[in-house]
């Protein structure tokens, strides 16, 4: 299997002033780097981290796996700056355009490495990342009592 994580370099550096996204982006990169170190344990062929920048030399193209998630916003195609793409032995690519899902997939890989190596390779996640894995973002708070 091959994995490509695509992130916004500016969010990673904290330059886009979106604290939540910066925290999750750093978690995604930290997890992908850890997986890359142990990729032989999982039998992964390649773990690529693509950091997209806004300068003219960067056309945003994927580096390893040619798939980019897009949405339509204000009738314009907007390419996702954060996504995870995996390609299995069968050649199918899965695109996870949602950072929450991407973090869950990467974290699942780290759990696998923990099991295989019996070494704790767990990444210290931000409170934001930890909340995602705990499923807290899915919970809707109870409405206040009338």
Residues that bind Zn ion (CB under 5 A): 8, 10-11, 16
Q: Is the dihedral of CA 45, 11, 108, 89 positive or negative?
A: negative
Smaller CB separation from Zn ion, 8 or 49: 8
Smaller CB separation from Zn ion, 87 or 102: 102
Q: Is the dihedral of CA 13, 137, 123, 64 positive or negative?
A: negative
Q: Who's near 71: CB < 8 A, 6+ residues apart? A: 77, 78, 80, 97
Q: CB of 144: closest distance to Zn ion in angstroms?
A: 35
C-alpha separations of 74 from 54, 71, 78 in Å: 20, 10, 9
Q: CB of 38: closest distance to Zn ion in angstroms?
A: 28
DSSP 23: H
Q: CB of 122: closest distance to Zn ion in angstroms?
A: 26
Smaller CB separation from Zn ion, 57 or 142: 57
Smaller CB separation from Zn ion, 11 or 84: 11
Q: CB of 10: closest distance to Zn ion in angstroms?
A: 4
């Amino acid at each position: 299997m091959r994995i490509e994580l695509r992130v916004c370099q500016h969010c990673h550096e904290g330059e886009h002033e979106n604290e939540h996204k910066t925290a999750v982006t750093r978690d995604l990169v930290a997890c992908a780097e850890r997986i890359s170190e142990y990729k032989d344990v999982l039998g992964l062929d390649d773990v690529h981290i693509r950091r997209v920048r806004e300068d003219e030399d960067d056309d945003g193209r994927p580096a390893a796996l040619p798939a980019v998630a897009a949405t339509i916003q204000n009738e314009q195609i907007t390419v996702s700056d954060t996504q995870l793409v995996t390609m299995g032995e069968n050649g199918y690519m899965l695109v996870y355009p949602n950072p929450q899902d991407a973090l869950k997939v990467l974290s699942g890989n780290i759990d696998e490495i923990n099991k295989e190596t019996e070494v704790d390779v767990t990444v210290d996640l931000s409170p934001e990342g930890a909340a995602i894995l705990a499923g807290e973002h899915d919970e809707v708070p109870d409405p206040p009592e009338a």
